[in-house]
Amino acid sequence: MREVRHCLTLVKGPHRFVFQYVEGREADLLATFVALADDDENPFDWFDAAALSFEMGRQLERELEQAV
C-alpha cells in the first residue's frame, strides 16, 4: 500500500512553517502544534495551531468526499 503524504504551510511575517505528515499520523501533528504553541520562545501561537488544525480537517473532508 502506498504511503500518502500531506503538507500544511503557514507564513507568518518573516517565518515560514512547513509541516509534512503521513496519512494516519494526524494526531502526532496535532501534538506538534500544541508543543510549538506552548513554547513562549516560538512565534507559532494557539491561533496558528487552530488554523492549521482546521485546514488539516478540511483536507480530510475533501479526501472523504472524493472517495464517495
pLDDT at site 38 = 97
Question: How many domains does the structure of the chain reveal?
Answer: 1
Question: Which structural domain, as residue segments, surrounds residue 34?
Answer: 5-67
Location of C-alpha cell 479526501: 63
* pTM given for the model: 0.87
Assess whether pLDDT exceeds 80 at residue 1.
no
DSSP for 18-52?
EEEEETT-HHHHHHHHHHHHH-TTSS--HHHHHHH
CA 62 to chain CA mean position, Å: 15
pLDDT at site 26 = 94
pLDDT confidence bin for 52, thresholds 50/70/90: very high
pLDDT at site 41 = 95
